[in-house]
Chain A
Amino acid sequence: MKTANAVINNPIGLHARPAAQFTQIAAKYQSKITLQKEAKVIDAKSIIKVLSLGIKQGTVIKINAEGPDEKEAIDALVKLIKSNFGE
């Protein structure tokens, strides 16, 4: 299992287009990927669940991936967050 912590830094947070980008990238990988904010853990491939966390700018999140491509999945998602979702 691979884990990474990241801070969401783009102004609108994990919301609207960034949330869609996040789940679409997660969906490309076979591994089971979860997203954690505080005590809540959700399926990172679900737009509904990701939106339901209401992640705002400055929130620390934890990403877990487990499966054959877990490393690639974590790398891709962290990269997306670090790029501030290309904004």
Chain B
Amino acid sequence: MERGIGMLFQGISGSRGIEIGKAYVYEKHNFDIDKKEISSVDVDPEIHKLKQALAVSNLQIQSVRQKALEKVGEDKAKIFDAHLLIAEDPAYAEDIITLIREERLSAAAALEAVTNQYVTMFSGMDDEYMRERGADVKDVGDRVLRNLLGFPPRGLDHLAEEVIVVAHELTPSDTISLDARYVKGFITHIGGRTSHAAIIARTLEIPAVLGVTGITSRVKSGEIIILDGTAGKIYVNPEKELIVKYQQKQKEYLFLQAEIKQLGQLPATTLDGKSVEISANIGAPQDIDMALTYGAEGVGLYRTEFLYLGKKSLPCEDEQYQAYKKVAEKLEGKPLIIRTLDIGGDKELPYLELSPELNPFLGYRGIRICLDKADIFKTQLRAILKASVHGNVMIMYPMISGITEVRRANKILAEVKQELRECGILFDEDIKVGIMIEIPSAAISAEKIIQEVDFFSIGTNDLCQYTLAVDRMNEKISYLYQPLHPAVLKLIKISIDASHKYSKFTGMCGELAGDPMAAVLLLGLGLDEFSMSASSIPLVKKVIRSITYEQAKKIADAALLLDTHQEIVEYSAKILETLRIIDAEGEKI
């Protein structure tokens, strides 16, 4: 306890943000469960009561699931499917009934005993997934118990004023019913960054501090709390001065958040008027919504593997066409680069029965598979071509090592186009075709290759791995994984220069493209398009908008003269510092 500032508690940051408000201690009811032996005539009525409570619970879960579906989407509603399976589990009911019969326990006492036994079993398992199932069983058990005892379901749906919820634990059933108008933040005793409460708080964009030991007994409802979700701190009954200080901090935080979101919608134009394109990498059609919210000006990499993974057989042409069409339409004419199937390496497709390899990253993968299994390739190309009438679609081949592969792939593409023409199917006749630059030989032959294609997109993750011969998954050598290594930068420059010489463009879809520290350097090297995870977009735009292209070119030239990755990183960090770029957390980066 610190003097003068009330009580300070430190927890884990579950969701960022600052909130000041009244505590609402959301307590678990400690039901008094009668453990007395019941008489033999009561056995059957107790069993009947249990069955009824299970049936009611089942209906409630179904309706909660529906609510979740509307509020937070399919993905997060899935948790209630697990709840349904538990509520319907025949062994659960059977074990409880056995206790009622043999131990002469009331339904409530037997339910509590069996639930606890399962929870103990799951929470003792050495597997995160299993431990989460323990929480599910507890949630279901609590619901059935309330129904047995005639209490309404637990929930946060009857609040009348704005509060910060303080709870021992928040279960999916608790959070789904919460009234988002009144719940301004969470504090819990149990939970970490990946817990359900944290995920929901981040979805609702309210702050949360979790893992605060014994918090429910240290706070009373109605007490004033400062909740600093960013730092994972809580002040209970703070002094006036501290409240004023945090009100200021909250204002700054909200201002920055709004600014970051707004920034995403601005064009990525330098102070001297040069514009570059900032796009998003996506893996599934639904990712496009988030990409647009963050201000993506296109999709620089649509990973089509998603359509092929987790299936029993290859996706058919129509299934692919529907997916590509959906994304193309949502983009309303903004560029969409679809990468053809990049399987192999660390991504396997069981139904292709690829044999295990000693060196998968140097083996049968990417375009090598597509050129070998032309049927698979043709199906995908047909689907992409058909979708091309719905937007600004481009095709990109992965894992190109030289010009022969480009020619072979383009020949197959020409055949597919011809087949479509013969069938009278429309497609974009001027569809642009590009390749990924991820193998050093492709970068070195860039000037030859660019004459056969319309654009390059640099995949820095693999380019770095292949150039420096470093497996980035191997912790012992991860220090050698240096995306700003002078040799990697040189290959990037060769590729960009070659494309510009022929009035074509180069993008980048590796992780480096979303790194604000590298943005100035890449801009200065002449990169035309930066494609990244949606959430990186606002910050990279901010960096680009705060400098002139002339400055960036000078910085890139200077960086190319440096000797080591370390020097280039330090140099880039210093540049960023002088630009006074502030990130979303309100700290300089």
Contact = CB atoms under 8 A, between A and B. Distances in A.
Contacts of B130: 51, 54
B294 to A, nearest CB: 31
Interface in B116-139: 118, 121-122, 125, 127, 129-130, 133, 137
Contact of B350 (A24, A51, A52, A84): A84
Nearest to A19: B85
B579 to A, nearest CB: 46
B393 to A, nearest CB: 31
Number of contact residues on B: which range applies? 20 to 34
The DSSP consensus for interface residues of chain B is helix
A27 B91 CA distance: 12
A83 B137 contact: no
A48 B129 contact: no
Given A87-B310, A87-B350, A45 B90 contact: yes
Nearest to A43: B91
Nearest to A42: B91
Given A51-B130, A87-B350, A46 B312 contact: no
Specify the main secondary structure of chain A where it touches its partner: helix
Interface string B306-336: 0000101000000000000000000000000
Interface in A6-40: 15-16, 20, 23-24, 27
Interface string B461-503: 0000000000000000000000000000000000000000000
B125 A48 contact: no
B145 to A, nearest CB: 17
Range of interface residues on A (Cβ < 8 Å): 20 to 34
Given A48-B118, A84-B350, A54 B89 contact: no
A52 B85 contact: no
Contact of A48 (B92, B127, B312): B92
A16 B91 contact: no
Contacts of B94: 43
A46 B91 contact: yes
B219 interface: no
A16 B92 contact: no
Given A47-B89, A48-B92, A16 B129 contact: yes
Nearest to A26: B90
Interface string A51-75: 1101000000000000000000000
B79 interface: no
Contacts of B256: none
B350 A48 contact: no
A57 B556 CA distance: 51
B444 interface: no
B416 interface: no
Contacts of B137: 48
B231 interface: no
A2 interface: no
Contacts of A86: 312
A52 B121 contact: yes
Contacts of A49: 89, 91
Contacts of B89: 23, 45-49
Contacts of B122: 51-52
A87 B310 CA distance: 5
Contacts of A27: 90
A23 B85 contact: yes
B92 A54 contact: no
A48 B310 contact: no
A48 B85 CA distance: 9
A2 B154 CA distance: 45
A7 to B, nearest CB: 16
Contacts of A23: 85, 89
B453 interface: no
Contacts of B376: none
Given A46-B92, A48-B137, A52-B121, A15 B129 contact: yes
A23 to B, nearest CB: 7
Contacts of B127: 54
Contacts of B85: 20, 23-24, 47
Most B C-beta atoms less than 10 A away, residue of A15, A23, A47, A87: A47
Nearest to B90: A45
B270 to A, nearest CB: 48
Contacts of A47: 85-86, 89
A54 B129 contact: no
A49 B94 CA distance: 12
Interface of B: 81-82, 85-86, 89-92, 94, 118, 121-122, 125, 127, 129-130, 133, 137, 310, 312, 350
Ranked 6 nearest A-B pairs via Cβ: A46-B91, A47-B85, A43-B91, A49-B91, A46-B89, A45-B90
18 contacts: A20-B81, A20-B85, A43-B90, A43-B91, A45-B91, A46-B90, A46-B92, A47-B86, A47-B89, A48-B89, A48-B118, A49-B91, A54-B125, A54-B127, A54-B130, A83-B312, A84-B350, A87-B350
Given A20-B82, A46-B92, A48-B86, 9 more contacts: A20-B81, A27-B90, A42-B91, A45-B90, A47-B85, A49-B89, A54-B127, A83-B312, A84-B350
